[in-house]
Amino acid sequence: MPTDTPAVKALKLALDNARLGREHWWLWGIAGVCILVDGYSMFITAVAMPLLQKHFSLTAA
């Protein structure tokens, strides 16, 4: 198993001690909203498909 060099250890320590700024929290929020919208669109599609199949008499063929 390779050992970390002092530079790698210093980088890991700096990253572990870094704080999240306003931009980071904003990006986390945007990512969360995107995941929410994606899940909502998938749910709506799952609800609408059986209704559309019944209304238009669609089959799998």
- Stated pTM of the model: 0.58
Question: Is 58 within 8 Å of 52 (Cβ atoms)?
Answer: yes
Where in the chain are the domains?
6-56
Q: Looking at residue 59, what DSSP letter applies?
A: -
Mean pLDDT calculated for residue range 2-18: 92
Judged against a pLDDT cut of 70, whether residue 1 lies above it is answered with no
Taking a C-beta distance cutoff of 8 angstroms, is the pair 4, 12 a contact?
yes
pLDDT digits (tens, 9 = 90+) for 14-61: 999 999 999 999 999 999 999 999 999 999 999 999 999 999 998 887
